[in-house]
Amino acid sequence: MTVAGDFGTIGLVGAGAYGAALALAAARARRKVVLWARDAETVAAIERTREAPRLPGVALPEAVTATTSLAALATTDALVVTVPTQSLREVCEALAVILPSGLPVVSAAKGIEQSTGLFTTQVIAQACPGARPAILSGPSFAVDIGQGLPTAVTLAATDPDLARALAEALSSPAFRIYHSADPRGVEIGGAAKNVLAIAAGITIGLGYGESARAALVARGFSELRRFGEAHGAQGETLMGLSGLGDVVLSCASPQSRNFAFGLALGQGRNVADAAGGKLAEGAFTASILASMARERGIEMPIAEAVAGIIAGASGVREAVTGLLARPLRAEL
């Protein structure tokens, strides 16, 4: 059985804000950390200032070592991969060449691969066949984790002992990780909530007010639940931190990149400009989420509306008008 003590050194793949925050969280859990960044400038900046460029004002302890060498990750006891979902396969294929078989590889991305419709643990399993996939998700902003503010998330794997051991190894007093044996439910919550956050941002950007946002979030969560149940997710997972918890956070705060993206769309900016140079995972997830729902006959009008806006098939006000014109029926 794997125990928390086995994970003395954690590899963090990706030195963006969230990767740096998780590296710091692992260090606070008394783990040594190897933080991989793609570019040498980021590594040099970390070594010079002990701060990650994407997470300024938060000091990284000496337990965190930055590197551009993927080979340096081969000696770690587990990996947490924070690269965006659409880049995950490429990174995992590169890792597969150097990683020992049986190494836990935890995805911290929230999305669905556009080209295949696969969830992130499935991408890891395909691209890095020797890995033991897991998923980390839940209501968390990098800045909150970095500042040591109380945060709770979920770590899931099909092997419950692995999930428990990883959760114990990475938890600290302010960063609480609950474990689960339902990775699909955790992945669906993280992917679908990003699309709902875009819709919530659009609602506020249009000036429709808090009552409209509350209604949209409630109906959107019903869509998430239907999609999750059709894909075998457990109801408890969807109602937990990685489902409802993340929906609440992402649909309520402009700190959420997806909410901020939707807000800009609602205020009249076009799709190309709305992201403001920042990644909004939901913009890539919306189309594949809606497509997967249609294939199974799952009704997801809010996801469809967001996908149509991003694809340029409908304008923001046109899409919202279409949602408001839907027939009244019993609430399900």
Report the predicted TM-score, pTM, of the whole model to 2 decimal places. 0.95
Q: Let me know whether 136 and 198 are in one domain.
A: no
Q: Let me know whether 198 and 237 are in one domain.
A: yes
Is 193 among the residues known to form the active site?
yes
The 3-class secondary structure across the chain, one letter per residue, is CCCHHHCCEEEEECCCHHHHHHHHHHHHCCCEEEEECCCHHHHHHHHHHCCECCECCCCCCCCEEEECCHHHHHHCCEEEECCCHHHHHHHHHHHHCCCCCCCEEEECCCCECCCCCCEHHHHHHHHCCCCEEEEEECCCCHHHHHCCCCEEEEEECCCHHHHHHHHHHHCCCCEEEEEECCHHHHHHHHHHHHHHHHHHHHHHHCCCHHHHHHHHHHHHHHHHHHHHHHCCCCHHHHCCHHHHHHHHHHCCCCCCHHHHHHHHHHCCCCHHHHCCCCCCHHHHHHHHHHHHHHHCCCCCHHHHHHHHHHHCCCCHHHHHHHHHCCCCCCCC
Write out pLDDT tens, residues 274-292.
988 788 999 999 999 999 9
Write out pLDDT tens, residues 118-144.
999 999 999 999 999 999 999 999 999
- Which residue numbers in the chain have pLDDT < 70? 1-5, 328-330, 332
Q: Let me know whether 24 and 166 are in one domain.
A: yes
Mean pLDDT across the chain: 95
Among 181, 212, 244, the domain-final residue is 181
Q: Let me know whether 276 and 301 are in one domain.
A: yes
Q: Let me know whether 158 and 248 are in one domain.
A: no
Residue 205 lies in a domain: yes
How many domains in the chain? 2
CB 120 within 8 A of CB 85: yes
Q: Let me know whether 99 and 160 are in one domain.
A: yes
Q: Let me know whether 176 and 194 are in one domain.
A: no
Residue 330 lies in a domain: no
Residue 331 lies in a domain: no
The confidence score (pLDDT) of residue 322 equals 85
Q: Let me know whether 106 and 175 are in one domain.
A: yes
Domain carrying residue 204: 190-324
Residue of 32, 110, 193, 278 marked active site: 193
CATH number of the domain where residue 259 is located: 1.10.1040.10
